[in-house]
Structure 1
Amino acid sequence: MERTVRPALLRGAPTPPCSKSYAQRALALALLAEGRTTLRNLDLCDDTRRALDAIRTLGARIERLDASTVAVEGGLRYGRRAGEHCVLRPAADRLHAGESGLAARLFAPLAALADRPLLIEGEGTLLHRPMQTVADALRQLGARAEATDGRLPLTVCGPLRGGEARIDGSVSSQFATGLLLALPCCAEETVLRLSDAVSTPYLDMTIAAAERFGAAIFQRDYAEFYVPGGQRYRAVDYTIEGDWSAAAMLLAAGAVAGEVTVGGISRLSRQADTRFCEALARAGAVVVDEAHAVTVVRRPLRAFEFDATDCPDLFPALAVLGAAAEGTTVLRGASRLRHKECDRGAALREEYGRLGIEIEMPEADVMTVRGGAPRGGRVSAHGDHRIAMSLAATALRADAPVTIEGAECVAKSFPEFFEQLERCTAGAK
Structure 2
Amino acid sequence: MRLQVSPTQKLAGQAVIPSSKPETQRAILTATLARGVSYVRNDLRCTETTAMKNACRAVGAVIEENDGYLKITGVGRDLRPGQRVIDALGSGLVFRVFTALSCFAASPAIITGDRILRGRVMAPLFNALRDLGARIHCIGDEGHAPVVNWGGGLNGGRCVLPGNVSSQFITAIMFSAPLASTPTEIVIEGEILSISYIRQTIEAMVRAGIRVEHSDDFSTVTVHPGEYQPIDYRAGGDYTSSSYLVAAAAIFRGTTVLGNLNSQSLQGERAIIDVVQALGVKVSFDDSRNTLTLVNDQDELRGDYEFDASDYPNIVPTLAAIGAFVKGRFRVVGGSITRLHKSPRIKAMVSELGKMGVNIKPLFKDDVYDGFEIHGESHYAGGVSLSSWGDHRIFMSLFVASLRCRQPNLLEGYADVHCSFPDFFEQFEKLGIQFKEVGAPLAAELQPAQQPALLTA
Q: Fold-level match, TM-score > 0.5?
A: yes
Asked whether 1:374 is paired with 2:380, we answer yes
Asked whether 1:155 is paired with 2:148, we answer yes
Match of 1:422, as an amino acid?
Answer: E
- Tell me what 1:90 maps to: 81
Worse-matched range after superposition: 389-398 or 371-380? 371-380
Tell me, in whole angstroms, the C-alpha distance in 2 between the residues paired with 1:12 and 1:325. 23
Match of 1:4, as an amino acid?
Answer: Q
Deviation at 1:266, TM superposition (A): 1.8
Match of 1:295, as an amino acid?
Answer: T
**Counterpart among 181, 185, 198 of residue 187 in structure 1:** 181
Is the Cα contact below 8 Å between 1:13 and 1:260 reproduced in 2? Answer: yes
Is the Cα contact below 8 Å between 2:2 and 2:414 reproduced in 1? Answer: yes
- Tell me what 2:390 maps to: 383
Asked whether 1:176 is paired with 2:170, we answer yes
Q: Deviation per CA, 1:1-56, whole angstroms, max 9, x where unpaired?
A: 42221112211221121111111111111110010111111221111110011101
Is the Cα contact below 8 Å between 1:283 and 1:321 reproduced in 2? Answer: no
Asked whether 1:358 is paired with 2:359, we answer yes
- Give the alignment of 1:153-302 within 5 angstroms: 153-158=146-151, 159-196=153-190, 197-220=192-215, 221-229=217-225, 231-257=226-252, 258-291=254-287, 292-298=290-296, 299=298, 300-302=300-302
Tell me, in whole angstroms, the C-alpha distance in 1 between the residues paired with 2:333 and 2:211. 34
Is the Cα contact below 8 Å between 1:36 and 1:235 reproduced in 2? Answer: yes
Tell me, in whole angstroms, the C-alpha distance in 1 between the residues paired with 2:218 and 2:433. 46
- Tell me what 1:111 maps to: 102
Tell me, in whole angstroms, the C-alpha distance in 2 between the residues paired with 1:420 and 1:403. 20
Tell me, in whole angstroms, the C-alpha distance in 1 between the residues paired with 2:90 and 2:433. 33
- Tell me what 2:438 maps to: none
Tell me, in whole angstroms, the C-alpha distance in 2 between the residues paired with 1:380 and 1:212. 41
- Tell me what 1:324 maps to: 325
Output the TM-score relative to the length of structure 1: 0.93
Output the TM-score relative to the length of structure 2: 0.88
Asked whether 1:123 is paired with 2:114, we answer yes
Tell me, in whole angstroms, the C-alpha distance in 1 between the residues paired with 2:104 and 2:143. 21
The root-mean-square deviation of aligned C-alpha atoms, in Å, is 1.6
**CA spacing shift, 1:415–1:65, aligned 2, 3 Å:** closer
Deviation at 1:426, TM superposition (A): 6.5
Q: Deviation per CA, 1:314-368, whole angstroms, max 9, x where unpaired?
A: 1111112211111121100132221111111111011111211122113232311
Tell me, in whole angstroms, the C-alpha distance in 2 between the residues paired with 1:281 and 1:240. 25
Tell me, in whole angstroms, the C-alpha distance in 1 between the residues paired with 2:354 and 2:124. 35
Is the Cα contact below 8 Å between 1:374 and 1:394 reproduced in 2? Answer: no
Tell me, in whole angstroms, the C-alpha distance in 1 between the residues paired with 2:361 and 2:335. 11
Match of 1:120, as an amino acid?
Answer: I
Is the Cα contact below 8 Å between 2:171 and 2:198 reproduced in 1? Answer: yes
Is the Cα contact below 8 Å between 2:76 and 2:228 reproduced in 1? Answer: no
Structure 1's unaligned 5+ residue stretches are 78-86
The percentage of aligned residue pairs carrying the same residue is 34
Is the Cα contact below 8 Å between 2:236 and 2:260 reproduced in 1? Answer: yes
**CA spacing shift, 1:426–1:399, aligned 2, 3 Å:** closer
Q: Deviation per CA, 1:201-250, whole angstroms, max 9, x where unpaired?
A: 11110000111111111100211111111x11111221111111001111
Deviation at 1:267, TM superposition (A): 2.4
- Tell me what 2:455 maps to: none
Deviation at 1:200, TM superposition (A): 0.5
**CA spacing shift, 1:215–1:3, aligned 2, 3 Å:** same
Asked whether 1:35 is paired with 2:36, we answer yes
Worse-matched range after superposition: 35-44 or 156-165? 156-165
Structure 2's unaligned 5+ residue stretches are 435-457
Match of 1:3, as an amino acid?
Answer: L
Match of 2:427, as an amino acid?
Answer: Q
